[in-house]
Each structure stands twice: as structure tokens, then as C-alpha cells.
Chain A
Amino acid sequence: MNLGALKRLGFRGRTLVASVPYLWLVLFFLIPFVIVLKISFSDAQIAMPPYKPLFEWIGDKMVHIKLNFGNYAFLIEDNLYWKAYLNSIYVAGVSTLLCLLIGYPMAYAIARSSTSTRNVLLLLVILPFWTSFLLRVYAWIGLLKNNGLINNALMAIGVIDQPIQMLQTDFAVYVGIVYSYLPFMILPLYANLEKMDLTLLEAAADLGSRPWEAFLKVTLPLSLPGVIAGCLLVFIPAVGEFVIPALLGDPGMLMIGKVLWTEFFNNRDWPVASAVAIALLLFLVIPIMFFQRAQDAESGGGLHR
């Protein structure tokens, strides 16, 4: 076989390798969004599926396209949706900040320990991630409820006389989100801090800066890519979080993931649910693009190693 034939074969093989996942993702990831967009413009009806077609055939060749902006108008007019979006962003933002405050010192401590300890500690960070997310959220019900472990312990040592209401509060939701997403914050931070050149700190010390000064002026700025990656990995999914507010939060707590779920499963209003999803996506498009650029820059390193 000559070289040209080999190359052609290789080239064709490459096209095949790239096109299989490509087709899969276009069909099952990209096209679904187009359909969501389409259905968000249609009317609800009581049938299966519970929405009216956008295109109606009138007579022989005429196509009648009926775009209904009513679902979006409904989202804008009804305060509930605005509150849910803003509250979700607020809750996700605060949780991200808390994750950073807890995760940064941990990632720092892991990155600065000896190699053998480091691997064990890293394993301990990843391990909870391998057990069920749902069951770990469930564990907090037992800890936080009125006759739960924390209240019982506090009453036993006499700090409080009456149980504090913790379950079904915003506090419980923060605890749940921080708890579930903490590994996502620690891992990219660790990956970044571990790569850092420690001689830079020595140089800073030689030049007379105190440890905390060196941290603020050298370590922190250098770890910014890790901070950004970790924050986005926590923030974006947390905005649409459903399970944690559903299990730990107040039933009346407005989170957009819960609203979408209710519109879809309880009200069976698929067009409004679609409009909620599209609007949520618009809120998240900028952070998601940031995340992708960061991912591309690191070319897949960092997160999982």
C-alpha cells in the first residue's frame, strides 16, 4: 500500500472517529434545545403531548406559523418567576462564596502536604462524590430536623432548651448545596495550587514580605484560574438545583429549578416549562461560555486528573 492510500485511510478513520460523537451530541444535545425553543412559543392544550403545533397546514400549500409570545409575557408579568430567578442566582452565589471560603483553605492545605498524604487527602475529597448525591442530601434531613442529631446534641449539652428550626429553611439549602458541591470547588483549586512554583514564595519571603502578604500578592492572584473554574462549576449547576431545595428547603422557597419542575410535573404546562428553561439558559449563557473558554484554555486538564 502506498503512502497516499494510508493517509487517506487515516483521514477517513479520523472523520469517522469525530463524526460519531458529533452526530450523537447534535441529535441528543443540540436539537433538543431547538425543540424546547420551539415549544416555548406554542400554546398549551389538554392532550398528549400537551401543546399545539406551531405549523398548521391551511388548504393545500399554505403554512400557517403561529408564534405565541404569551408564555414569555407570562414569565415577565408574573412576579413569581422573577423572584425565583433572582433568588436562585442569589442562593447559588452565596453558596459558591461559602464553598470558596471552605474549599480554598482545604485545597491549599492539601497542595502543601507531602506527596503521600496528598494522595490520601485527595481521595478523601473525591470519595463522597462516588456515593449517592441523593442519599448524602438525605443524610442532612436526619441531622437538621427538629429532633435530629444536631438539635439533640445542642440540647444535651445545654446550649439550647428548644430545638432550632433548621430543616425547611434557607440555611438548610445552603448547607446542602455547599456540602454537595464542595469537591467541585476543591479539585480545580487543588490542581492549580499544586502546579504553583513555590520558589516564587521563597523569593517573596527573601524580599521581605510576610507570609500573608506573599499569599495575597503571589498565591492568590496565581490561583485565580482555579478559583474561577471552581466557582463556575459550583455556581452554574446550583442555579438550576432541584433536589436540595425540594428535600431540605422551605416548601415555599422559590428556586427556578423547582418552579420548572412544578410547571412540568404538577401543572403539566409544557410550553411554560420550556419558556422557563429558555430564560434560565439565557441567564446562564454567559457563565457557561466563560466556563468553556476556561476549559478550552486548560484543554481538559485541571478538573479530573
Chain B
Amino acid sequence: MSGGRPWFRILSLVLGFAFLYIPIVSLVVFSFNESRLVTVWGGFSTKWYGALAANQQILNAAWLSLKVASITATAAVVLGTLTGMALARFGPFRGRTMLSGLATAPLVMPEVITGLSLLLLFVTMEQLIGWPAGRGMTTIIIAHITFTMAYVTVIVQSRLAQFDESLEEAAQDLGARPAKVFFLVTLPIISPALLSGWLLAFTLSLDDLVVASFVAGPGSSTLPMVVFSKVRLGVSPDINALATILIAVVAIGVAIAGFVMARQQKIRDRDAQMALAANQQMIESMKKG
């Protein structure tokens, strides 16, 4: 390959990835540290995992966060797919620019603004129509859907832009109605994008501190809110244990996703080969006949 000196490229990668991964590795290593001082090695121990499992506050917050994140991700995928379809497939329609702007602005909007504005909306709505009564899980979920659906929209839209529209047109020509085309042709093709959109929305929701802090009521602390109030007072090894569990889950998830995708690719390749072979056979038989 041309361009640039190889040693420079390798060096920039090594340094860059060291920068990205040393903090993560240090989190994991010191979660197994006997000593309370997170940075001085005092021998191997798993006691902080025990401490984590006994911390009811963290467990409650984690359960709330998992519930919020699953509901958020599911709703965000539905809304984001609708938006992505409208933006990628409907051509120019009235209000398209507006929808496109509304759909991508949350990607870059500072969290403090999103959080504050949603809280003020909820307070105003409660005054006007009495809903949502107080703030808690519902308001957190609504807020999270609003900013995560933007990510799903971008993923779905770019996937739709990549694949050939003629497949959908062919189905339509063969008499399938739009809804049928969507469920039988479009949806299966964009399903990997939907999966990554779901996972991304789930992660973003699970991770959000700022927006949740604004729109959560008393007694509905999410996991990041509890973690933040703890680490503000300094490092504590049970948070390292929590981080390690999270990193392990992500690593396993990535491994499974990689495996599934590789297998799907293999199946696709085989199908393509079979189709090619069948095609060849047909041509041969036509030549003979």
C-alpha cells in the first residue's frame, strides 16, 4: 500500500490504542486488588465483588437502569426505524428538512440542555394536564428515547441508503403492499442495523448520567447517578468491580456478535454460490435445449 512511512503508522496505532486501553486495563486489574487504595497493589482478592453484591443501593439502581435501558432501546429502535425509513425512502416531502434536523440535532446537543429542557417540559405538562405525575422511571425513559432514537435513525438511514432499492421495487412489482414489502424485504435486510441500533441505544441509556439527573425524581436513582455520587468522593474498589463486570459483558457480547455475523456471512456466501451455480446450470441446460 502506498502513502506514508509504515513505522509512523504502526507507532501512531500503538500509542493511540495504548491511550485508549490502559485506563480500561487498570480498572480491571485494580478491581482484584486486596487494598482499599485503588492504585497500590496489595495482593489478589475478589472481595470487592462481594462488597458490590451486598450493596443494595447499587443493586437497586442497576435493576432500574436495566429496565429503563431495555424499554428505551426497544422504543428507540421503533421510532428510529420509522424516521430512518421516512428520511431514506420517501423522497422529498413537506417537512423533510425539519424532520431531518430534529432527528439529528440530539446527536450533538449538549446533555445539560437536553436534560434541563425535558425537565421543564415535564413540569409544565404536569401543571397543564396532570401527566406525568411526578418524575421517575417514565420520565427517564421518555428522555432517553428522545436522544437515543437519533442514533438509531442515523444507523438505519445509512443502512437503507447502502442497499439496493430495486429489491423493494421488485417486491412491489410482484404485488406486495408497502407494509408487506417492509416486513418481508426491508426489515430482514436492515436487521443487523436494527440490532446494533438497539445495542447502542441500550448502552447510551445505561450510561447516561446528566439527562437522568435532571428528569429523575427522588427515589429513582439510576446506576450512573449512584456511581457518580460515589466516585465524586474519590475512588472506591467496588466501582472497579462494577466496571470490570460491565467490560466483561461487553467483551462477551462483542464475541457473540462477531461469531454470529461471521456465520451469517458464511451462509450468505454459500447462498450466493448456490444461486450462481443454479444460474450456470440453467444457462447450460438452455444451451443444450
Contact = CB atoms under 8 A, between A and B. Distances in A.
Contact of B232 (A36, A215, A237, A246): A246
Nearest to B242: A135
Contacts of A139: 23-24, 26-27, 243
B142 A28 contact: yes
Lowest 9 A-B CB distances belong to which pairs? Answer: A240-B110, A32-B117, A105-B12, A300-B157, A139-B23, A109-B9, A18-B86, A25-B102, A236-B108
Contact of A24 (B30, B146, B231): B146
A22 B95 contact: yes
Nearest to B147: A29
A18 B84 CA distance: 9
B176 to A, nearest CB: 11
B53 interface: no
B117 A35 contact: yes
A148 B39 CA distance: 6
A274 B113 CA distance: 9
A295 B155 CA distance: 12
Contacts of A105: 8-9, 12, 16
A100 interface: no
Contacts of A140: 23
Nearest to B258: A123
B161 to A, nearest CB: 6
Interface in B196-233: 196, 199-200, 203, 206-207, 209-210, 213-214, 224, 227-228, 231-232
Given A18-B82, A138-B231, A143-B22, 8 more contacts: A18-B95, A124-B20, A127-B250, A138-B227, A138-B243, A211-B2, A257-B112, A280-B112
A72 interface: no
Contacts of A141: 231, 234-235
A288 interface: yes
Given A110-B13, A198-B2, A242 B88 contact: no
Given A24-B79, A138-B231, A142-B235, A112 B9 contact: yes
Interface residues of A, number: 103
A109 B161 CA distance: 27
A211 B79 contact: no
Interface in B234-282: 234-235, 239-240, 242-243, 246-247, 250, 253-254, 258
Nearest to A287: B108
Contact of B108 (A232, A257, A270, A277): A232
A149 B104 CA distance: 40
Given A20-B79, A243-B210, A277 B104 contact: no
Interface string A24-47: 111011111101100100000000
B136 interface: no
A291 B16 CA distance: 26
A21 B99 contact: yes
B82 A21 contact: yes
A274 B120 contact: yes
A143 B23 CA distance: 7
B110 A39 contact: no
Interface in A287-305: 287-288, 291-292, 295-296, 299-305
A102 interface: yes
Interface string B43-61: 0000000000000000000
A241 interface: yes
Contacts of B90: 14, 17-18
Interface in B140-194: 142-143, 145-146, 149, 151, 153-155, 157-158, 161-162, 177-179
